[in-house]
Amino acid sequence: MVMHLSREGRKLMLRMGMRQLSTASTTSTASHSSSSQQSPPPRPRPSRASQLLEGRRVLVVPDEEKEVYIAMEKGDGELERLRDRLLREKRAADELEKDRRRERAERILLRVAEAAKQEGEGEGEGARDPVGSPQPGVFAQLSGEVVRYGKYVEQTSHFLASRFALTARPYYYPPAPADDISIKPYEEGMTMAHHYPSKLIPKSVSYRFPYSFLVHNLQSRFMSDKRTQRFNKFLLEERLRDKASLVFVLRGTATSSKFARYDWVSFLKHAGMDTDALTRDRNIQTINLYVWDVNRAARMIMQYRMLASIQQNFREEIDSTFAHFDNLKWDTMKRLHLYNKQLITVLLVDPALLIRWHAVGLPTEEAAQTLREALRELSMERSHRVLPNVTIGSSSSSS
């Protein structure tokens, strides 16, 4: 029996067949994919309390979910009041933390002010302040700077004098039963002079100046081009040899700059020392040493600009000013007593390159007097040379 379908009937049959084919192919594909790989597990839904306050910028902890459910039953008004209360509690906690930080900074400032006050009271009634030198406690008036440096030293400094006083002390304390050398202790937040011995350190227990300590020469003929920066380095021990040297190690901060160095010279003058002899005497010299503890990448970026800035600030003393850019090792920091990045370090080096006296911090009358006595003792003793004198020539000419 042959059925004759119209044109519309044939179109309808074709559509029904295509629909059945598409349904069968989709079913087979889904079954194949489900058999080949498993569907990912459903994500855990957030709690109802987090969903309720998600758009209100309030972080709900598990202990507060019960309060959120109770407020939800009472209506939207109660949810808004709960949101406001949680925000107020968060602001109160932030203010409390700010108050704690402010009190901590004020305690550091008070310690510095008390230390400066004690230094001023110890001078006596008839003592007079040196001309051009800072008054006792003048650095404590710089509240912002002192607080900032105190917090930086307390939080980020890697080598504090308080931590390493026990490791640095035994190398000369006591060197012998008859030679008891005391050391000025370090207190928290202290910026005045500390960590200095009461007298000249004997040679047998003194540290030697670090080997292979390369520095930059800041004279103008070496500073004309960046390409010459890599060639104007030399060993600092070549300059320190055969002379007593008073080395001021500077780090570029407000309490470790050329002004702190001028304060030390002023206090030495007030202690009765002829500071002009530091430039006239051929047996003693002063060295300004800038030290930056930087890696190679930072050195390539900041080296030329920093050297040019130092050259401009030390035009009168450019021959005795040097700079060192390198990663400082622990042995170098221990020998040079670089325990605090924010304070100046003073070193007294004898002609044999032995560090006979050291101090960290801003000058005081006691520290200046101790340094003056150490200089006098060093000038009286006869230091041995690092290398013996060698005469080049024939034996007959030498005889």
Q: Average pLDDT by consecutive 10-residue portion of the chain (399 residues)?
A: 56 61 53 50 52 48 55 65 74 77 72 65 44 38 46 44 40 47 82 89 86 76 51 81 89 83 87 70 82 70 65 67 82 84 90 91 91 88 47 36
CA distances 145 to 255, 259, 342, Å, are 9, 15, 11
Claim to verify: residue 193 and residue 289 sit in the same structural domain: yes
Tell whether 369 is covered by a domain.
yes
Claim to verify: residue 242 and residue 332 sit in the same structural domain: yes
Claim to verify: residue 107 and residue 169 sit in the same structural domain: no
What's the pLDDT at 10? 60
Claim to verify: residue 241 and residue 112 sit in the same structural domain: no
| Residue ranges making up the domain that contains 85 | 56-118
What's the pLDDT at 254? 80
Claim to verify: residue 228 and residue 368 sit in the same structural domain: yes
What's the pLDDT at 385? 44
Tell whether 32 is covered by a domain.
no
Q: Cα separation of 152 and 31, whole Å? A: 65
What's the pLDDT at 345? 92
348-361 tens-digit pLDDT: 999 889 999 999 99
Q: Cα separation of 177 and 40, whole Å? A: 78
Tell whether 5 is covered by a domain.
no
Claim to verify: residue 180 and residue 81 sit in the same structural domain: no
Claim to verify: residue 164 and residue 103 sit in the same structural domain: no
DSSP 347: E
Tell whether 147 is covered by a domain.
no
Tell whether 82 is covered by a domain.
yes
Claim to verify: residue 196 and residue 61 sit in the same structural domain: no
CA distances 345 to 74, 229, 231, 331, Å, are 69, 26, 28, 16
Instruction: Give the CATH number of the domain where residue 343 resides.
Output: 3.40.30.10
Locate all alpha helices (DSSP H) within 122-173, ordered by sequence.
Answer: 143-156, 161-168
Q: Cα separation of 270 and 83, whole Å? A: 66
Number of structural domains in the chain: 2
Claim to verify: residue 179 and residue 268 sit in the same structural domain: yes
Q: Cα separation of 144 and 254, whole Å? A: 12
Tracing tokens 């968060």 back to the chain, one arrives at 90
Q: What's at 284, amino acid-wise?
A: I
40-63 tens-digit pLDDT: 555 555 455 555 554 444 444 445
Tell whether 249 is covered by a domain.
yes
What's the pLDDT at 347? 94
* Helix or strand (DSSP H, E) at 228: none
Tell whether 340 is covered by a domain.
yes
What's the pLDDT at 124? 46
Claim to verify: residue 61 and residue 187 sit in the same structural domain: no
Claim to verify: residue 79 and residue 170 sit in the same structural domain: no
Strands of 244-250's sheet, edge to edge? 207-208, 354-360, 345-349, 244-250, 284-293, 321-326, 214-217, 233-235
Claim to verify: residue 299 and residue 371 sit in the same structural domain: yes
Tell whether 6 is covered by a domain.
no
